[in-house]
Structure 1
Amino acid sequence: MERDPCVYILASGRHGTLYIGVTSDLMQRLYQHRAGMTGGFTARYKVHRLVRYEMFGDMEGAILREKQLKRWHRQWKINLIESENPHWADLAVGLGFDPLAAGGRRNGS
């Protein structure tokens, strides 16, 4: 099975609640988050908008980056997001996902 290690940042909205995660399959993980299948923090706080992701050559590198980002101050995370995504656009739409409905969940759920 081909793996594509990735660190991703989800947000509830612009300057909203942030979630940092790591996965070997970004598309599957996004689907799970957007469908509310993951439960927990992201479901409770409606954190479904993909605002940044970084691809890695191996899972070890991705996990190290995730741990680094989780230690960062909130403002550093915001600066990182805004360095490439100043309007906090939902990057998942560019990956083929439907736009999120106003409540933060994808349309039709």
Structure 2
Amino acid sequence: MRTLCDACEGAAAVVFCAADEAALCHSCDEKVHMCNKLASRHVRVGLANPSAVPRCDICENAPAFFYCEVDGSSLCLQCDMIVHVGGKRTHGRYLLLRQRVEVCYFCTERLESQSSFC
């Protein structure tokens, strides 16, 4: 089963960008990530081997890119926000690359004022 590029919706995706939550073909990946210095730093995971991309332990659908040490769970952005931001469970979480992350103030404010996630 091939994954289509989220940008052009025509070519087969070859990478998944955790920061953009997007699967991209080679051409779109270059357009998006080579346009500036900050975007070029986004971590991308190759999709040649779909089993290499972990799935969220909660929804079991979206690609996971957070890991909660306390819960021992891999989480997608939306499930992480539900589990850790909405309640009092402010466990230390890491990107799957094992870099500690904190919930940004802007995201928390948007969660409180809207019903959708940022």
TM-score bracket relative to the smaller structure: under 0.3
The structure showing larger relative contact order (alpha-carbon pairs under 8 Å, at least 6 residues apart) is 1
TM-score (norm 1): 0.26
State which structure, 1 or 2, has the greater radius of gyration over its C-alpha atoms. 2
TM-score (norm 2): 0.25
